[in-house]
């Protein structure tokens, strides 16, 4: 039987949280109003996560494991899992239970009302460092100001998407995949459900500072050309000032003023122009870098192994098991 619901869960060294996660999912799946599959994407874990998940995928045909050949990052891991999903509604969630799986029931209610994309919006965030809260807040603000898409505030990657929206998303060929921006960008009927985000159930965050910066940069550059335009306007302004200064010098000369004291100011203007030029070149370089990575058209990921995909028979949710 084709599942109605697909859950996509990226996993990177999550052995500490897996027992709790599997228990929560076992409790949730029978409460859904249709058959469901759970797709774990192992994003190059070096701990026992893939072993635990492989055992589950072999024992229970509602579970699948997709193992990527190395760590490609959460955005690519999610994309690879979504590409395998066969359900009519696909839910993406973190493994650490910061995205409580039970919220899926609220999302499904909205989906049944006809929304194609249902975001889970955080009303609060527990157990995050003040640094993470401040930087995340700043990021959402800057994105809101600069970007071409309306990125909902305090929304991560926890969301339900309809098959239609998913197929649109998968049809986007770009390599630099800022998933939440792409889902805003594709349109359709979008809505939110709100929740209080708990702390990580176990283990440590898998987002290093470097990964966070990379994600933020990817979001800005792939959904905004404001930096490019800012450089352009800065260049125009600087050139305008230089032209005004030149007019002033000519006027002063025509009026017969004694001029040789202007030497140092000319040096200042030249330096300033050089700096503006460098800034523009730098910004162009960022975009050209992106073009470069797009034209390479490398496969987004390579799959190491697939486990649990061969059976098409799904277990009917056993309602009597639900506590
Ligand atoms: N993750 C991943 N690949 C990575 C980093 C993280 O698949 O390179 C997964 C991770 O296992 C978790 C989710 O992405 O399921 C979110 O990561 P985490 O909870 O560490 O991020 P945080 O909540 O601290 O931002
Ligand atoms: Mg987390």
Domain count, the chain: 2
37 lines ligand 1 (CB under 6 A): no
Ligand 1 pocket residue status of 40, Cβ below 6 Å = no
Of the listed ranges 30-39, 130-139, 148-157, 236-245, the least confidently predicted one is 236-245
Give the start-end residues of each E strand in 1-74: 5-11, 36-42, 63-68
Q: Mean pLDDT for the chain?
A: 84
Determine the average pLDDT of the residues in 113-138.
86
Under the banding of pLDDT at 50, 70 and 90, the label for residue 186 is confident
What is the number of the ligand 1 atom nearest to the C-alpha of 72?
8
Best residue for ligand 1 mutational test, from 11, 74, 204 (most atoms within 8 Å of Cβ):
74
Task: Provide the pLDDT for residue 49.
Answer: 94
Structural domain boundaries, residue 256: 226-295
pLDDT at 150 over 50: yes
Atom of ligand 1 nearest to the CA of 94: 15
Determine if ligand 1 sits within 6 Å of the CB of residue 96.
yes
Atom of ligand 1 nearest to the CA of 128: 24
Q: Is 263 found in the same domain as 206?
A: no
**Residue 151 and residue 32 share a domain:** yes
Torsion sign across C-alpha atoms 119, 124, 126, 130: positive
What per-residue confidence (pLDDT) applies to 187?
Answer: 83
Cβ 88 under 6 angstroms from ligand 1? no
Pocket test for ligand 1, best of 24, 97, 207 (most atoms within 8 A of CB): 207
Same-domain status, 262 and 197: no
Residue nearest (by alpha carbon) to ligand 1 atom 14: 74
Ligand 1 test: best mutation among 75, 206, 216, 218, most atoms within 8 Å of CB? 206
Buried-state track 15-26, b at ≥16 Cβ within 10 A, e below 16 = bbbbeebbebbe
According to the model, what pLDDT value does residue 322 have? 42
**Residues 208 and 232 grouped into a single domain:** no
Whether residue 118 contacts residue 126, with contact meaning beta carbons closer than 8 Å, is answered with no
- Cβ pair 102, 198 in contact under 8 A: no
CATH number at residue 203: 3.90.550.10
Instruction: Give the distance (Å) from ligand 2 centre to CA of residue 290.
Output: 28
Same domain, 52 and 160: yes
Read off the pTM.
0.79
Answer yes or no: do 43 and 109 share one domain: yes
Residue showing tokens 């026992």? 48
pLDDT at 184: 87
- Which atom number of ligand 1 is nearest to the Cα of residue 9? 15
């Amino acid at each position: 039987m084709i599942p109605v619901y697909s859950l996509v869960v990226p996993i990177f060294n999550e052995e500490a949280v897996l027992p709790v996660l599997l228990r929560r999912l076992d409790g949730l799946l029978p409460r859904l109003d249709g058959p469901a599959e759970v797709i774990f994407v192992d994003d190059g874990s070096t701990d026992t996560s893939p072993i635990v998940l492989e055992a589950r995928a072999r024992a229970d045909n509602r579970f699948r494991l997709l193992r990527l050949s190395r760590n490609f990052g959460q955005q690519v891991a999610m994309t690879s899992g979504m590409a395998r999903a066969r359900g009519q509604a696909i839910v993406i969630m973190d493994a650490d239970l910061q995205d409580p799986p039970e919220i899926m029931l609220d999302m499904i209610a909205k989906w049944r009302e006809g929304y194609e994309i249902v975001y889970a919006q955080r009303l609060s965030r527990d157990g995050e460092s003040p640094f993470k809260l401040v930087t995340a807040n700043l990021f959402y603000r800057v994105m809101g100001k600069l970007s071409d898409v309306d990125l909902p505030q305090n929304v991560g990657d926890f969301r339900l998407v309809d098959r239609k929206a998913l197929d649109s998303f998968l049809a986007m060929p770009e390599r630099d995949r800022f998933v939440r921006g792409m889902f805003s960008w594709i349109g359709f009927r979008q809505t939110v459900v709100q929740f209080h985000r708990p702390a990580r159930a176990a283990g440590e965050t898998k987002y290093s500072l470097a990964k966070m910066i990379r994600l933020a940069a990817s979001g800005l550059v792939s959904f905004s050309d404001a930096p490019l335009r800012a450089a352009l306007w800065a260049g125009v302004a600087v050139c305008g000032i230089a032209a005004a200064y030149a007019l002033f010098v000519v006027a002063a000369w025509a009026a017969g003023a004694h001029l040789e004291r202007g030497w140092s100011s000319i040096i200042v203007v030249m330096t300033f122009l050089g700096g503006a030029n460098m800034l523009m070149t730098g910004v162009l370089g960022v975009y050209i870098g992106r073009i470069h990575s797009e034209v390479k058209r490398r496969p987004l990921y390579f799959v190491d192994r697939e486990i649990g995909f061969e059976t098409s028979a799904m277990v009917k949710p056993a309602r009597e098991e639900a506590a």
